[in-house]
Amino acid sequence: MSTTAPAATSIGAASTDIPGWTTSIADPARLGAVRRTGLSRGADPALDRLAAICAAVVDAPCAVIALVGDDRMHLAGGHGLPDQLELQREWPIDPRSLAVRVVHERCGRAVNDTRVEVGEPSDGRLSAVAAVVATPVFDVDGYAIGAVCALDTVPRQWDACVLDRLAPITQLVSRELRFASTMPADSRNYRLGATPPTRTQWRPGFAPAAA
């Protein structure tokens, strides 16, 4: 299965519906694995830090770690998020989204220009996203429970090695999610640090909402 051909857009919308996505996304065992992380509400400091590393690795202004539930997407980790996403880290699943696609297909994908290949996303909060790369994350039993996504506000030609560069980050995210699945939320040891780093400098078109 190819992991390089652009076929979808950001975590908000994609070019075509994904055949058979409902069966894999709604798999009760997979959804149980998502719930066991305990991270389907709010932000997790360790995953925020990993999102920041993801953004730095591919030189992107924004990165997210999205858990894919049955009807909603949850941002368990994020870096460089505009305020409207920082404050409300979830939204209804779009069956065309790249995060859903990589979870369904169990392989990474990249999109160079969402506006040419796709058009405007269904969620207006993601209207500034112009390019995206995403890789799936897996739990200890091999269920694809979410995706690591790096986002840019300008179209870009992702290089041929971008998925390889994200692979170590994805492995760390998978390890952190597996750890979360085994520990009570109030006793988690944030081994990667409890304070996420300062946001990357905002690029035009993706500035935080005015106070």
Check if the beta carbon of residue 122 is closer than 8 Å to that of residue 152: no
pLDDT score recorded for residue 210: 39
pLDDT band at 93 (very low <50, low <70, confident <90, very high): confident
Chain centroid to Cα 122, Å, comes to 16
Which residue is it, tokens 């392989």? 107
Contacts for 41 with CB less than 8 Å, ≥ 6 apart: 74, 90
SS3 letters across 63-104: EEEEEECCCEEEEEEEECCCHHHHHCCEEECCCCCHHHHHHH
Nearest-angstrom CA–CA distance, 125 and 86: 11
Calculate mean pLDDT across residues 55-66: 94
Question: Would you say residue 124 has pLDDT above 70?
Answer: no
Check if the beta carbon of residue 51 is closer than 8 Å to that of residue 41: no
Calculate mean pLDDT across residues 6-15: 38
Architecture in CATH of 21-181? 2-Layer Sandwich (3.30)
Question: Would you say residue 102 has pLDDT above 70?
Answer: yes
For 155-211, write each residue's pLDDT tens digit. Answer: 999 999 999 999 999 999 999 888 877 766 555 444 434 443 333 433 444 444 433
Give whole-number Cα distances, 194 to 45, 46, 168, 188, 199, in Å.
5, 6, 21, 11, 15
Nearest-angstrom CA–CA distance, 202 and 191: 28
Phi-psi region of 80 (alpha: psi -120 to 50; beta: other; left: phi over 0): left
Calculate mean pLDDT across residues 89-100: 78
Which pTM was predicted? 0.76
Cβ neighbour number for residue 92 with a 10 Å cutoff: 10
Q: State the greatest distance between any 2 C-alpha atoms of the chain, in Å, as a whole number.
A: 46
